């Protein structure tokens, strides 16, 4: 497939933003800008803040490559603005982004399609006081997480009641509802999806107990194995589940789906990342490289999926 359609057009790399993942976005943006520039594209880096409508107007870009992560970037808000301004953009559309960023809404759709997930209990922040680990319908360890963050911000694994409240309070800083999930012991795998097809699954082996912020961004804090060493049937199941998750949320272009596989080889869906990290050492590019798609080519393919009304 020829993938040079956008040579000569003005491509705005939208980066920065106001989420807790701003630093990651800046890295993604730099990596994307450098690679596309190196391939001969006309790129402009655009720092996203509340003046973004004016910046988009004055830069008069033809296409937006969204290098943002988290709130206001991956949650449908920037996509809505770009729709209004009729600027084609990369990645998923407004609704798919909003659904994938909200782990409760994603779960509702996944369960409507009978996709397997860890058992869950949703708590409201005003219910924290007096709520104990023993009241959950499943046993510890449990995982406490915010509804709409990423990069493992606000995520904690809790074994004992004394650690439960601090974890709930931390997660409550990010919104009025808190997700408490049953802890799944086993393998963690992430699946890359490009243009409606799974590229493959990579195994993550964090040095610590889980794939936390430092395991994600500090080199040496996690090991990656591609392709993930899974039995043929388990790999098939994992890839099909990841694709189904991407589809039921209505994602398009690309995404990365996070899953856990328990000791009985049963996969459990964690989440779909509508705008996964895209530095050269991020997982999505690593998966693509593993199947022979170099970073620049991956970006070109993503650029080809830019559009409106998706
Ligand atoms: N139910 C669970 N059991 C075991 N580990 C979990 C569970 N949920 C999350 N984790 C760990 O926490 C990490 C972050 O969780 P995730 O739901 O993907 O949120 P985020 O959007 O912050 O990436 C996962 O990559 C995994 O290592
Ligand atoms: Mg995740």
- At residue 3, does pLDDT exceed 70? no
Say if CB 89 and CB 79 are below 8 A apart.
Answer: yes
Query: What is the 130 CA–ligand 1 centroid distance (Å)?
Result: 25
* Predicted TM-score (pTM) of this structure: 0.97
The pLDDT value given to residue 107: 98
* Residue whose pair of structure tokens reads 């603005």 in the numeric block: 81
Cα dihedral 217, 223, 225, 230, rounded to 10, equals -110
Backbone angles phi, psi at 5, to 5 degrees: -55, -30
Kindly list the distances between the CA atom of residue 118 and the CA atoms of 121, 244, 259, 271, 278, in Å, as whole numbers in the listed order. Answer: 10, 17, 10, 11, 27
Nearest C-alpha neighbor of 274 from the set 126, 12, 104, 66: 66
Task: Using the CB atoms, write b or e for 278-294: b if 16+ within 10 Å.
Answer: bbbebbbbbbbbbeebe
Strand extents, DSSP E, 50-117: 63-66
- Mean pLDDT, residues 279-290 taken together: 94
pLDDT greater than 60 at residue 1: no
CA of 60 to the centre of ligand 2 (A): 34
**Structure-token pair, residue 293:** 């798609």
Helices (H), 113-217: 161-172, 213-217
Tokens found for residue 186: 């086993």
Ligand 1, pocket residues at CB < 6 Å: 118, 143, 145, 149-152, 155, 181, 183-184, 188, 210-211, 258, 260, 270-271
Look up residue 190 and give its two tokens: 């992430």
Dist CA 99 CA 187 (whole Å): 26
> Which atom, in ligand 1's list, is nearest to the CA of 270?
17
Token digits for 137? 């319908």
- The separation between the first and the last C-alpha atoms of the chain, rounded to the nearest angstrom, is 21
Ligand 1 pocket, mutate which of 103, 118, 211, 267 (most atoms under 8 A from CB): 211
**b/e per residue, 20-46, with b = 16+ CB within 10 A?**
bbbebbbbbbebbbbbbeebebebebb
What mean pLDDT value characterizes the chain? 96
C-alpha torsion sign, points 217, 218, 219, 223: negative
Give the residues across from 10 on adjacent strands.
42
Q: How many angstroms from the chain centroid is the CA of residue 102?
A: 11
Confidence of residue 4 (pLDDT cuts 50, 70, 90): confident
The Cβ-side half-sphere exposure at 37, using a 13 Å CA radius, reads: 11
Find where tokens 């911000």 sit.
Answer: 153
Which listed residue (74, 273, 296, 300) is catalytic?
Answer: 273
Give distance in angstroms: CA of 133 to centre of ligand 1: 19
Q: Which pLDDT tens digit goes with each residue over 229-248?
A: 999 999 999 999 999 999 99
**Residues 169-180 pLDDT 10s:** 999 999 999 999
The pLDDT value recorded for residue 122 is: 98
Region of residue 141 (left: phi > 0; alpha: psi -120 to 50; beta: else) = beta
Give the pLDDT confidence of 11-56 residue by residue, as tens digits: 999 999 999 999 999 999 999 999 999 999 999 999 999 999 999 9
The residues, ordered by sequence, that sit 6+ positions from 217 with a Cβ below 8 Å of its Cβ are 24, 151
Q: For the chain, how big is the Rg over CA atoms in Å?
A: 19
Query: Residue 27 has which token pair?
Result: 């890295």
Catalytic, 282? Answer: no
Q: Which ligand is nearest to the CA of 189?
A: 1
Give the three-state DSSP class for 135.
Answer: helix
Q: Averaged over 142-171, what is the pLDDT? A: 96
Per residue in 57-91, is it b (16+ CB within 10 Å) or e — as a string? eeeebebbbbbbbbbbbbbbbbbebbbeeebbbbb
């Amino acid at each position: 497939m020829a993938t040079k359609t956008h040579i000569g057009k003005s491509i705005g790399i939208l980066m920065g933003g106001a989420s807790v993942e701003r630093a990651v976005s800046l890295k993604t943006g730099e990596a994307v800008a450098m690679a596309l520039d190196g391939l001969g594209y006309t790129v402009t880096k655009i720092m996203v803040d509340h003046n973004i409508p004016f910046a988009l107007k004055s830069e008069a870009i033809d296409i937006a490559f969204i290098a943002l992560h988290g709130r206001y970037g991956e949650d449908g808000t920037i996509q809505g603005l770009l729709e209004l301004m009729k600027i084609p953009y990369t990645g998923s559309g407004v609704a798919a982004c909003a659904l994938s960023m909200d782990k409760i809404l994603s779960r509702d759709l996944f369960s409507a399609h009978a996709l397997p997930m860890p058992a869950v209990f949703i708590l409201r922040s005003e219910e924290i006081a007096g709520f104990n680990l023993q009241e959950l319908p499943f046993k510890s360890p449990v995982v406490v997480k915010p509804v709409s963050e990423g990069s493992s911000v606000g995520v904690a694994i809790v074994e004992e009641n004394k650690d439960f409240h601090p974890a709930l309070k931390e997660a409550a800083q990010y919104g009025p509802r808190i997700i408490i999930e049953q802890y799944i012991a086993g393998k963690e795998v992430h699946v890359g999806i490009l243009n409606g097809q799974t590229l493959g699954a990579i195994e993550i082996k964090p040095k610590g107990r889980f794939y936390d912020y430092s395991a994600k961004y500090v080199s040496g804090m996690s090991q990656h194995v591609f392709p993930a060493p899974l039995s043929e049937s388990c790999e098939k199941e994992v890839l099909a589940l990841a694709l189904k998750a991407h589809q039921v949320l209505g994602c398009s272009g690309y995404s990365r789906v996070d899953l856990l596989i328990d000791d009985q080889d049963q996969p459990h869906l964690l989440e779909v990342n509508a705008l996964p990290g895209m530095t050269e050492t991020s997982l999505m590019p690593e998966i693509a490289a593993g199947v022979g798609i170099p970073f620049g080519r991956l970006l070109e393919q993503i650029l080809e999926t830019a559009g409106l009304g998706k």
